[in-house]
A and B are shown apart, each in its own frame.
Chain A
Amino acid sequence: MNEKISRTRKIKCAIMNALIWSAAGVICLILLGIILYILGKGLPHISLKLLTSKPSLLNETTGILPNILNTLYIILMTLIIVLPLGVGSAIYLNEYAKKKKLVRTIELAIETLAGIPSIIYGLVGMLIFVQFCSLGTSLIAGSLTLVIMTLPTIIRTTQESLKTVPDSYREGGLALGAGKWYMIRTAVLPSAIDGIVTGCILSVGRIVGESAALLFTAGMANEVLGLFDAVMPNNAGSTLTVSLYMYAKERGDFDTAFAIAAVLLILTFGLNLLAKFAARKLRKGQ
């Protein structure tokens, strides 16, 4: 067979093949380069003191404890609000809605939300939550903004796993005389838990990496806040990403910026692993 192929064809194939391999190689090299560079430059600057203190102008020390806490608060507040909304919305789409056109409209809205860039969320969040609802620049305003932003993720993943729940579960539940909500709560939702968990992890990843939407909503403060204060209006605070931006761009403190970048990288990779692990484990559990 092979000798029948002309030389030019052979050469062409070899070139295209080489291109494909080098494209994959380039991408792996870029990622490897990013990881090694950030960890190499960042890890030496991570110390217990950096992780457990706040920046102090008097002592000329930096610390990222407020930023770590703010990130956690925002993750918690966002998830608490977005989970019921997102899961409820997915249940409506998959279990209650009957008209196809209606479902299509809602899905179009979800796609639109997923496509809006985060800087627009930041601006609209500022208009709605900071000004219109007069929450001020605060963690809670930031969280509410992120609720709108992560809603599509939660709805989609929940919907995906609701779709895989066999109809026999539903019919069985209803045939036993259970009401629709009772049937959903006892038969459908437990089998859809893997999608909900995956959605949560993906959302957390998105929140950890978000900066543009938080710049004008959650602000740039670096104070340590208690859990109670974090929920109150007018208590601003910067997350890890926002503070990375501030350290790198506004203050030119690259050592701290590298340390934060390393922390962020470790966090996002950890979440990535967790998502994979959770998906595998939960699928097996069923």
Chain B
Amino acid sequence: MKTRTGKMKKTADILEKIMNFIFTVCGFMAVAFVLIITIFLVISGTPAIAEIGITDFLFGTKWASTAAEPSFGILPFILSSVYGTFGAILIGVPLGILCAVFIAKIAGKKISSIVSGAVNLMSGIPSVVYGFLGMILIVPTVREVFRLPDGANLFSAIIVLAIMILPSVISVSETAIRSVPREYEEASLALGATKTETIFKVTLPAAKSGILASVVLGIGRAIGEAMAVMMVAGNVANMPGIFKSVRFLTTAVASEMSYSSGLQRQALFSVALVLFVFILGINLILNLVVKKERK
């Protein structure tokens, strides 16, 4: 009897050790994936940069990857991505914050749950659907309204991106607005401020870092979006202008990858590496913002 329980305990101990090991491995899986992604991107992204030269690559204004004398300058992509993201933020963030205020402070329980349900649904719509709608509705409208030969340009991309970042901006700023202590608002109301003044002069400033986090998140979404942009931005490697067909960093990778070869292919990996660095920077900022809020 004694030996049998001893044996059971032994097998149980071994099982415990095995499970402990398995869970530890699982736990470090995320770290491993990040390292693998970084290593693969760096290894495949650096040769082209070395061959082209980092300044020619980053600040060259001409991308002609399939020309007889190819040139690989990605400044048009970088600037298009930056302008496109900035434009989307300019439209999407004010709209998003106002809507978050509506959900958190103005609307009654029922209406607020309807609106936040709608925002939830919006976040679930696939990006190709947004891109397709942009292609069918926004591109022709832009062409008509501004009397352009082609409506597929930076402006259309900005509108589609502005709509696409709304759900993340709204849900994060809503949480931030809701977490402002009640006493702040009550104090302001007691001093004679109206409800609207309280929202704009007390609640929003107090929720500032959370709202900032939502903006950074929106920037990340917009700069990383590929398919929708590919369908509405016209996809020509121009230096950006509001009514010019442009290529973002993301769409540069997506549009040429399937038929690329040699240095062109390696240059595309380098574009992805640049995009990755941008995203890491944005993540870093997001982390700092969130950390500051926790303090």
* Interface of A toward B, CB cutoff 8 Å: 1, 4-5, 9, 12-13, 16-17, 19-21, 23-24, 26-28, 30-31, 34, 37-38, 84-89, 91-93, 95-97, 105-106, 108-113, 115-120, 122-124, 126-128, 132, 148, 151-152, 155, 179-182, 205, 208-212, 215-216, 241-242, 244-245, 248-249, 254, 257, 261, 264-265, 268-269, 271-272
Contacts and interface: CB of A to CB of B under 8 A. Distances in A.
B290 to A, nearest CB: 9
B132 A21 contact: no
A135 B277 CA distance: 28
Contact of B257 (A179, A180, A216, A257): A216
B148 interface: no
Given A26-B95, A112-B280, A126-B257, 16 more contacts: A23-B99, A24-B99, A27-B122, A31-B122, A115-B286, A117-B250, A120-B275, A181-B15, A182-B12, A211-B127, A215-B254, A248-B131, A248-B231, A264-B128, A268-B124, A269-B124
B98 A113 contact: no
Contact of A5 (B120, B127, B194): B194
Contacts of B129: 34, 38, 244, 261, 264-265
A241 B126 CA distance: 8
A119 B132 contact: no
Interface of B: 12-13, 15-16, 19-20, 22-31, 33-34, 36-37, 40-41, 44, 94-95, 98-99, 101-103, 106-107, 114-115, 118-122, 124-129, 131-133, 135-137, 163, 166, 170, 192, 194-197, 199-200, 220, 223-227, 230-231, 250, 253-254, 257-258, 269, 272, 275-276, 279-280, 282-283, 286-287
Contacts of A181: 15-16, 19-20
Contact of B196 (A16, A151, A241, A268): A16
Given A112-B34, A212-B254, A216-B257, A13 B196 contact: yes
Contact of A88 (B27, B34, B258, B286): B27
A132 B114 CA distance: 48
A120 B20 CA distance: 33
B226 A119 contact: yes
B231 A245 contact: yes
13 contacts: A16-B199, A20-B98, A31-B121, A85-B29, A96-B23, A111-B283, A112-B34, A115-B282, A118-B224, A215-B254, A241-B227, A245-B128, A249-B135
